[in-house]
Amino acid sequence: MESTTYPGTCRDVILPVLEQTGLKVGKDFSLAYSPERVDPGSKTYSSRKIPKIVGGITADCASRVEALYRKVFDQVVPVSSTETAEASKLLENIFRGVNIALVNEMKMLFDRMGIDVWEVINASATKPFGFMPFYPGPGLGGHCIPIDPFYLTWKAREYDFSTRFIELAGEINTQMPYYVVQKAVEALNQQGKSIREAKVLILGAAYKKDVDDIRESPAVKIISLLQGKGALVSYYDPYIPQIKGMRNYPSLVMESVELNAERIKEFDCVLVITDHSNLDYGLIVENSSLIIDTRNILKDYQCEKIIKA
């Protein structure tokens, strides 16, 4: 079992089903858990190089799965149980979700204070101990961090325990698309334009740079919010040629537009949502009248038409 889930799934859900056959775990079959660890779009961490955690229902199950994965991965990390292995993956994702929520909250506060949150983070990151930089954005996406932590929230109720950090982080991260849209509305107002019937270009629909995964992408929420305010929204993403309806947005059907100087000039506002590496940001800055930069990708361009959000 590799799918992310709550502690106890292998022992309490999968094992009883398998033993309905009359076979016994550790004797007739083995059952183990090893959380998937991937970094989509990364050129640094290949699957073989990422340590692989393994935990078995029995000691024999654990040794078998460890032997299997040692043929594939450079490092295998055995733990004492499937529950420990299941919990480790949740902790990894919760750690990211909570810390991203923290810097997102700092971004909104520092924005009111006239302080650049990215400059603050980079300054803090010079400390060689006790600090790990996380960076804000327009909201969480992908099939892991926005969803997985709440498996543990659900399970915790069985133990009369409230996971307040997880739930608060979820609330903050969920609000980020609303914050981005409000920044766009305010920036357009400063130019004497209304969001209603404003032509808005979303740059990047994928949830993460340089990947073709749109699941839970904040870009989709932002598109929906802008359309709800009457904006005329288009998007460009070299990895996502079409949006064909999604779980929470079944009627949303769009196609990526061409990105050239003439087309960019047609838009009243450009929102940088996903900072793909292969975008021509110089072309975008030169031909845009207003840009909302949610990723600080345009930090080297100093002009008033770029608004950080």
Query: 93 and 75 in one domain?
Result: no
pLDDT, one tens digit per residue, over 129-151 is: 999 999 999 999 887 888 899 99
**Which of 6, 16, 166 has its CA nearest to residue 85?**
6
Two tokens, residue 148: 């997985």
Two tokens, residue 253: 């059907």
Domain membership of residue 182 (yes or no) is yes
Active site residues: 144
Q: Among the three residues 85, 107, 123, which one is the final residue of a domain in this structure?
A: 85
Domain region containing 50 = 9-85
Q: How many residues can be counted in the chain?
A: 309
User: Which residue reads 């078998």 in tokens?
Assistant: 64
Query: 224 and 114 in one domain?
Result: no
Is the pLDDT at 5 greater than 80? The verdict is yes
Query: 273 and 181 in one domain?
Result: yes
**Is the pTM of the predicted complex or chain greater than 0.85?**
yes
Domains in the chain, number: 3
Q: How confident is the model over 96-104, as a mean pLDDT?
A: 96
Domain membership of residue 4 (yes or no) is no
Q: Is 196 in contact with 187 (CB distance < 8 Å)?
A: no
Query: 257 and 270 in one domain?
Result: yes
Environment class of 58 (CB within 10 Å of its CB; exposed 0-12, middle 13-18, buried 19+): middle
Cα–Cα dist 221/35, whole Å: 29
Rounded percentage of the chain residues whose pLDDT exceeds 70 = 100
Domain membership of residue 3 (yes or no) is no
Q: What's the pLDDT at 274?
A: 97
